[in-house]
A and B are shown apart, each in its own frame.
Chain A
């Protein structure tokens, strides 16, 4: 857009100097305009999505969440992860947001709570233009799936730290855990969008 404005704002002499004829400038301007028009609904959607994520981060970094909700939420996740590990015969205990044993311990911190990935799914569902009923169905399935997946991830990270080296744990922590977990949220969002728009999609030419 900036390039378009600059080129159109040039005098004929300057345009010639820049090696562009008026037709070429117009073509470039039209192309940029066409690019925006072509992506108009997607860009609007992304703007709304970014706004929703912005609202989430305002809450996530607020005193309300940090002072009152964060500790009990992380503790609940640690307890569930611990229960799962004990089910697999691990001798672990929970202290605050830490699951530990004599062999290894993991501390669940901000970013490992799965809330950002959940917010991506929730924002995507809330901003997508379908009926409220379909949105609630998506949220009703998506949030519990991500919550359970995060507990599995936490338990898995504990096991990887206990049975493998620190470098394996580090790779799984960022690559395996964080990135794949976020992708799971995106895939769930896509599955829901496909389901929610099924009726419309069926009528599309193949």
Chain B
């Protein structure tokens, strides 16, 4: 077999091993729940800023580390409940919206992690790529969540935001476009953009 083909198959094998190991670790419930919790904290803060008309918080599903529950109630409704109760602190049962943590973030982040770790880069460059890539991919995943929630909150069933028909159709279109394939594409573009440079792309092409 030609050396290029052998190198390609070897890379695929190393990738399968690393990606398989990382995925297996991520599927351990305790690990999944911990990562889910780490993801929820900053995401909740961003979502609160993005949707000021909604009182929301992100909850774990104890039975399944894959699920993130968004418990929400409109600020307007909350104000009404506070007023009728005559006090500021009230206990309210919100409604729930769920999304999948692994498909939204973790599975594709592990893909990115494996790609970066298998790239023959100096340690410092690898660390910079990992940090920058983590941040950028995280922001992309939060953008997906925001778009999904923006569509949901504009739905008559949630009845919180009332954007014009045009904007609702734009948000719907974006949601339909943000498939798993787009996730994958974003990861590949991030990896290539962070790893390859004018001086190293030919060498990396051979080494990778």
Q: Using a CB–CB distance below 8 Å, which chain A residues touch chain B?
A: 37-43, 46, 49-50, 53, 57, 61, 110-111, 116, 120, 171, 174-175, 178-180, 182-184, 186-188, 190-191, 193-195, 197-198, 200-201, 204
Going nearest first, the 5 A-B pairs with the smallest beta carbon separation are A116-B181, A191-B8, A42-B196, A194-B4, A38-B197
Interface contact A175-B23, CB-CB below 8 Å: yes
Which of A190, A197, A198 has the most C-beta atoms of chain B within 10 angstroms of its own C-beta? Answer: A190
Interface contact A178-B11, CB-CB below 8 Å: no
What residues of B have a CB within 8 angstroms of the CB of A49 in the complex?
189
Interface contact A171-B23, CB-CB below 8 Å: yes
In chain B, positions 14-72 with a C-beta closer than 8 Å to chain A are 15-16, 19, 23, 27
**Shortest Cβ distance from A46 into chain B, in angstroms?**
6
Q: Is B199 an interface residue (CB 8 A)?
A: yes
Contacts A57-B177, A61-B177, A174-B102 given; indicate if A116 touches B184 (C-beta within 8 A). yes
Within 8 Å by CB of A43, from B8, B193, B206, lies B193
Q: Is B111 an interface residue (CB 8 A)?
A: yes
Main secondary structure, interface of B, reads helix
Number of interface residues of B (CB under 8 A): 37
Within 8 Å by CB of B27, from A61, A171, A201, lies A171
What residues of B have a CB within 8 angstroms of the CB of A37 in the complex?
198
In chain B, positions 59-92 with a C-beta closer than 8 Å to chain A are none
What residues of A have a CB within 8 angstroms of the CB of B4 in the complex?
191, 194-195, 198
Cβ-closest chain A residue relative to B16: A180
What residues of A have a CB within 8 angstroms of the CB of B8 in the complex?
187-188, 190-191, 194
